[in-house]
Structure formats: C-alpha cells, structure tokens
Amino acid sequence: MKRAVFLDRDGVINPEVLNPSTGQWESPHKAEGFTLFPWTASALRLISKHGYLLFLASNQPDFAKGKTPLEDLIAIHEKFASAIQDEGICFSDFFYCFHHPSGNVPGYSRTCACRKPNPYFLLTAKKKWGLEMNLSWMVGDRHTDILCGKAAGTKTILIHNEYAKEETGGCPPDFTAVNLKDAARIITGFF
Ligand SMILES: [Mg+2]
Ligand SMILES: [Zn+2]
C-alpha cells in the first residue's frame, strides 16, 4: 500500500522572498534567492523514513505573467533538486504548473488542468504510483493547497504563512502547523 506526501514549495520548503518594489513576499525569482528552510531536510527525511513517497506540486505562474524568464524558474528548480539530493532526500516526482489564466505570455496564459486547486497532479501521481489517497497528505500554505488535497482525497495540513493574504471561502484543513517540521511531526505521529 503506497502512500505519499504532496508538498507545495514556496513558503513550505523554502522561504518566500521580499520584493522591495511591491513590498510583497513572493516566490523566488532567481536561484540566488532560493534557500531551504533550516528544518526542511530533516523534516523530509523523517517523512520518507516513515514510508511516504514525496511529490512536489507547485504553481509557478510568474513566467506566464511576464515577471520571470522560464530559465530562471528552471534554475531555481535545479538548485532545489540538487539541495535535497545533497541531503539524501528523494522525490518521486516534481510537478510544476507554469500557466496562469490571466497572464500575458502566449501558450502559458490560459485556463489549464494542472493549476492548483485542481487535483490534476495528485491524481496523475495516484494513477502512476498506485497511491492510497486516504493514507496520503497534502501540505501547503494556501487555501488552494487545501482545496487541492481535499479534491484528491488526501488529508491536509495548512502551514501558517504570516505573509499570505487573508483568504476566505476555503475549506478548513484537517490540521494546521507552524512549519514543515511541525507538519512532519503530525504526519509521522498519526497512525
Ligand atoms: Mg506556497
Ligand atoms: Zn497548469
């Protein structure tokens, strides 16, 4: 019986970055701006050790919005992938949505199937890996992550993000956590 933990990236695995021109905390735009939280590696290692496959499910709309070149988003992914590899952590797959419904880059500016809260990536992984979704988890810092997990049939953990805009209309998560370390404690202590 295979089970998985699906992870949002920005605000969960790595800190968001302050954009001085807008005063907003955003996804990193450059590889230099990407760094793991100090607890990320040990938290992921703990989750893996308890028999969960790891998957990333991340919306990265800044290319579609004309804010970040695709090469920079790929460079950020490569820095992330090599940082966790150096820590001996293995993800079964990385899923990124580079679309946005109201972007300005042709081909990427459209309604797509894969943008969270759509559960497309989670259901793709379920099918490919034969996952038991009711034994699996979605961990994110936005209500769209929670909606995505619920739609895919996983349990959900909302990580507190003090910079996330107040969002309403979401459904409540099964658990809340202060960070990924706390989420790992909840997941591994659950059964
Ligand atoms: Mg996030
Ligand atoms: Zn998409």
How large is the average pLDDT for residues 142-152?
96
How large is the average pLDDT for residues 106-128?
97
- Measured from the alpha carbon of residue 158, the closest ligand is 1
Entry pTM: 0.95
Query: pLDDT digit string (tens) for 8-27?
Result: 999 999 999 998 888 888 99
Out of 22-26, 108-112, 145-149, 182-186, least confident range: 22-26
> What separation in Å is there between the alpha carbon of 159 and the centre of ligand 1?
9
For the domain 3-188, what is the CATH code?
3.40.50.1000
The pLDDT score that the predictor gives to residue 162 is 75
- Give the C-alpha distances (Å, rounded to integers) separating 101 from 76, 106, 112, 130: 23, 11, 7, 31
Q: What residue spans define the domains of the chain?
A: 3-188
> What separation in Å is there between the alpha carbon of 8 and the centre of ligand 2?
14
Is 4 in contact with 132 (CB distance < 8 Å)?
A: no
